[in-house]
Amino acid sequence: MVSVTSLPEAPGTERPPARKRSWRHRLLRFDLHYTPYLLIAPFFLLFLVFGLFPTIFNGVVAFRNWRLDDPEHAGWAGWDNFAKLLSDSDFWNALYNTFGIFALSTIPQLFLAIVIASVLNRRLRAQTFFRVGALMPYITPVTASTLVFDVVFARDNGIANWVLQVLGYHPDTPLDWHATKLSSWIAIATMVNWKWTGYNALLYLSAMQSIPRDVYEAAALDGAGPWRTLWRITVPMIRPVVIFTVVLSTIGGLQLFTEPMLFEQNPQAATGGAGGQWQTIAQLIYKVGWKNLNLGYAAAMSWALFLIIVIIAAANALITNRLGGGRSK
């Protein structure tokens, strides 16, 4: 960052006398003109190899028949894989699940994050402790936390069921969190929320700290309470960060894989529950590719997911922009 921003001033300040144009000068010119590119090159090289190439290759595979268990059946498939997608009840079920879990996780998560951030933005005792604490779930490996949550949401002797009992919910048989759509969605959304709320809260907090104090003082003089201040001043003023987190959560939520995968009692199946109650699209892609060994169809699904994410992320960004009172472009 420093090197890039300091570039323009350089030619004027350090131009050597014309006659002493030496290798040193040329090195400097090289440094000025090409070093920035050299420095950003690693990202683009890596992106080319691990981002762009797989995406394009995946797109090509999507139009081919490629079955690992049937090597003879290969060749161009045209739009067949995509046509199959439209009538595949598994795909629509997975899409429905993905959006269900997405809604249950993203909305409460970002809402909570804003509230937490505004609390952390006040003067608190042990401020650093709370801020670091908010980030703890984020640095916990998702596999570890999911396995713990798996115990929490166990049918027999699970903590979640114990809590329900304490709260006065006494069913005849213990609630089987894995059995129905709603219960399994709630369980998985809880894992996602736990992990990402603190992370988003810290993003909001850093944005909030750049809001000038006098705005709040003016609002306070006008008699605005903390709740009103939060939604009328804070949120509109950190709108760019809100949009950023909405887009990130959309991408993450629609690609949800590890949590539903490990929530499964038999991960080998990758079916997302006995009746596909919580099978997400990412999980279905994995199942079609590596369990059904139908790589062509899995590639078509991946591309469909990619397009869905682009559309939804764009829509969400737009909506958030409007909600935040973003008329003033």
Partner 1 sequence: MKRLMTRSLRATAVGALALVLVAACSGKSTQTESKGDVTLKINFWGDFGLTQLKPKYEASHPGIKIVLNSGEYNAQHEDLQKKLVAGSGAADIAAIDEGFIVQFRSQADKFVNLLDYGAGKYQDKYLGWKWKQSLSADGKTQIGLGTDVGGQAMCYRTDLFAAAGLPTDRDKVSALWKTWDDFIAVGKQYTAKTGKKFVDNATNVFNPVLAQQPVGFYDSSENLQMDGGPKIAFDASVNTIKAGLSANLASFSAGWDQGFVNGSFAVLACPAWMLGHIKDTAPGTSGKWDIAAIPGGGGNWGGSFLTVPKQGKHVKEAYDLLEWLIQPEQQIEIFKEVGNLPSQPALYKDPAILDFKNPFFNNAPVGQIFSGTAEGLQPQYLGKKAGPTRVAVENVLNQIQSGQVKPDDGWADAIKEADKAAKA
151 belongs to the binding site for partner 1 (CB under 8 A) = yes
Distance of alpha carbon 103 from alpha carbon 185, whole angstroms: 10
Candidates 64-72, 164-172, 190-198, 302-310; binding stretch for partner 1 (CB under 8 A): 64-72
Which letter, b or e, does each residue of 91-106 get, where b requires 16 or more Cβ atoms within 10 Å of its Cβ? Answer: bebbbebbbbbbebbb
**DSSP 8-state symbol, 101:** H
What is the three-class DSSP state of 255? coil
Q: Strands (DSSP E) along the chain, which ranges?
A: 64-65, 75-76
Tally the C-alpha atoms within 13 A of residue 297's C-alpha that lie toward its C-beta. Answer: 23
Residue list 158-177, contact with partner 1 (CB under 8 A): 176
Residue 71 sits in the site that holds partner 1 (CB under 8 A): yes
Q: Decide if residue 155 touches partner 1 (CB under 8 A).
A: yes
Provide the 8-state DSSP code for 68. Answer: T
- Is position 178 an interface residue for partner 1 (rule: CB under 8 A)? yes
Which amino acid is located at 292 in the chain? N
- Contact flag: residue 13 with partner 1 (CB under 8 A): yes
First to last CA, the chain: 27
- Pattern of binders to partner 1 over 289-328, x per CB under 8 A? -xxxxxx---------------------------------
Stretch that binds partner 1, among 68-76, 164-172, 188-196, 234-242 (CB under 8 A): 68-76
Distance CA 266, CA 141 (A): 21
Between 131 and 176, CB nearer to partner 1 = 176
Structure tokens given for 258: 């590890």
Does 39 help bind partner 1 (rule: CB under 8 A)? yes
The verdict on 98 binding partner 1 (CB under 8 A) reads no
HSE value, Cβ hemisphere, 13 Å, CA-based, for 75: 2
116 or 261, CB closer to partner 1?
A: 261
271 binds partner 1 (CB under 8 A): yes
Which residues contact partner 1 (rule: CB under 8 A)? 2-3, 6, 13-14, 31, 35, 38-39, 41-42, 68-71, 90, 150-151, 154-156, 176, 178-180, 265-269, 271, 274-275, 288, 290-295
